[in-house]
Structure 1
């Protein structure tokens, strides 16, 4: 057993002990359910639904609070749903740690408020007290420096005032030899594009695609050369005379370039050199990282990045929902036959809007030496022949 696995096991034991203490202080009407109480409640709900007469007030209260959803051969306790409602699950105490743990890690160790919002959208009886207990036991969270300062995010009127453009030299892949990094500095939202050359004409052409979708900034800057930024602006004007921009000062961008290359190396995993295939996924991962206040995606668009149905449904439900009719049947009837893990404990509750699982090589194998990404060469040295194209 690795140290990490052992620490996780010990943390789970301490968490469950605290939950037992919490449960002991609650009254009979608590929604914190042991596994035994959870199964008993399911049986009571099923029995109450079968009663055709002589229902008591507590029967109506039970049916108002609970319903049972059958997933394959597993019965889950849920909040009664109307036709347009999303399903909210009740969970028992033996499931709580796994659910909170997976959500917390997928959200890059988010704080209590973000965790509460996320978990309460899917689970009825995971309380703020439970989340607080988990965060108190999380070593990573306890090591975070406390600060009252928060990043100030620009409003939509400021989103395209200034941008950073950087070029990274790469090993050849399908004719491409460079990566263009475009970042909106107000929101930190980035876009990554492959380049075949460091030609100003090609760079301007790629930027034009971005500007005609997201709008153009007022100022364009580059960490290597004001002259390069100026020539890009001039080339953009040749293609689009109505576009008036200016170039800004040389601005340090090593952290941006380093972070992008590090994420790309992790995606490559030492198993492939086809870096062009990973750009769009690295772009999404970086834009979805909400470790500081909010993600760049949310700052730009006002919502978190979404990945289809996965944010709302457990992973094991998804293979049997293939059409809109399947989805409607599931939401209205509350029952769908699916293949589920043999062990109930193996089921995972994931939010892939945040914990984004992307195609590509294994992220656990970081064969950095197999990939030649020339960060220093790019930041410190450019193909200056490109600067003479417009002179």
Structure 2
């Protein structure tokens, strides 16, 4: 699964190369740029316009046994900002995603733009669009008393599918007297409210989405579930 996602990511980024060649650099072009920058910096006589451009935009930094292209610095004490090849982009994005606790695209963009000059928000392809199956969501149902959780995969977040899975959970654990959800539209749709017609004593309570005071137990459980799923996916590729 991970290899398939990586391949599709690289194919998608490579497909944008012609339109975005200013910041998308294939590996062979990356190595050629290193040679061009070095040659321009060593040339003593008159340089071409392209060579002046390269020296005004880029430097080559020796990192151990590897040479890397960085953004032109005003002083040697500035923190390097790296340019990366298309082939290396996936691994860098993946490491950043893990480093920020599998956060959103905006958080990843903020993390990456501190260190890298040519990784754009458009490179951070939504994982949903790269899903290897039809399932793109996970519904978490928790019994408040015992903290027992049931996970159900969902294809879309349509109210009808959520209602079906809820009804199935009720048959598994018993119908609750009080059903609490956040205020997401997928849970406030009419078909969810109509669950009361099946269980007349059911009361539906709406808490604030991602609000610890009203949803604290579920939010903590979601964090634990995410960590367990990440570990399971890593172990099982």
Q: Please, what TM-score do these two structures have when normalized by structure 2?
A: 0.56
Task: Write the distance in 1 (CA, Å) between the matches of 2:222 and 2:125.
Answer: 31
The answer to whether structure 1 residue 91 and structure 2 residue 84 are counterparts is yes
Task: Write the distance in 2 (CA, Å) between the matches of 1:9 and 1:124.
Answer: 26
Task: Write the distance in 2 (CA, Å) between the matches of 1:75 and 1:135.
Answer: 35
Match of 2:11 among 14, 17, 22: 17
Per-residue deviation, 1:83: 3.9
The residue aligned with 1:31 is 23
The answer to whether structure 1 residue 52 and structure 2 residue 44 are counterparts is yes
Contact between 1:19 and 1:93, CA under 8 Å: does it hold in 2? yes
Q: Secondary structure at the match of 2:17?
A: helix
The residue aligned with 1:71 is 63
Task: Write the distance in 1 (CA, Å) between the matches of 2:113 and 2:35.
Answer: 25
Match of 2:95 among 90, 99, 102: 102
* Cα deviation code 1:38-59 (max 9, x no counterpart): 0000000000110122022222
Cα gap change, 1:256 to 1:110, in 2 (>3 Å)? closer
Q: Secondary structure at the match of 2:69?
A: strand
The answer to whether structure 1 residue 114 and structure 2 residue 107 are counterparts is yes
Instruction: List gaps (5 residues or longer) in structure 1.
Output: 1-6, 153-184, 187-250, 267-362, 365-391
Contact between 1:34 and 1:94, CA under 8 Å: does it hold in 2? yes
Q: Is the helix fraction higher in 1 or 2?
A: 2
1:358-369 equivalent positions in 2, closer than 5 A: none
Task: Write the distance in 2 (CA, Å) between the matches of 1:19 and 1:56.
Answer: 31
For structure 1, which segment, 112-121 or 137-146, has the greater mean C-alpha deviation from structure 2 after superposition?
A: 137-146
Q: Please, what TM-score do these two structures have when normalized by structure 1?
A: 0.35
Per-residue deviation, 1:24: 3.2
* Cα deviation code 1:317-346 (max 9, x no counterpart): xxxxxxxxxxxxxxxxxxxxxxxxxxxxxx
* Cα deviation code 1:277-300 (max 9, x no counterpart): xxxxxxxxxxxxxxxxxxxxxxxx
Cα gap change, 1:13 to 1:257, in 2 (>3 Å)? closer
Cα gap change, 1:71 to 1:54, in 2 (>3 Å)? same
Paired positions, count: 161
* Cα deviation code 1:215-254 (max 9, x no counterpart): xxxxxxxxxxxxxxxxxxxxxxxxxxxxxxxxxxxx9986
Per-residue deviation, 1:135: 6.1
Q: Secondary structure at the match of 1:24?
A: coil
Task: Write the distance in 2 (CA, Å) between the matches of 1:46 and 1:252.
Answer: 57
Q: Aligned Cα RMSD in Å? A: 3.7
Task: Write the distance in 1 (CA, Å) between the matches of 2:112 and 2:29.
Answer: 22
Cα gap change, 1:46 to 1:15, in 2 (>3 Å)? same
Contact between 2:37 and 2:59, CA under 8 Å: does it hold in 1? yes
Task: Write the distance in 2 (CA, Å) between the matches of 1:26 and 1:132.
Answer: 16
Match of 2:120 among 127, 131, 141: 127
Q: Secondary structure at the match of 1:23?
A: coil
Instruction: List gaps (5 residues or longer) in structure 2.
Output: 140-156, 158-183, 186-207, 233-237
Q: Report 1 or 2 for greater relative contact order, CA contacts < 8 Å, sequence distance ≥ 6.
A: 1
Per-residue deviation, 1:256: 8.9
Task: Write the distance in 2 (CA, Å) between the matches of 1:98 and 1:259.
Answer: 26
Task: Write the distance in 2 (CA, Å) between the matches of 1:122 and 1:49.
Answer: 24
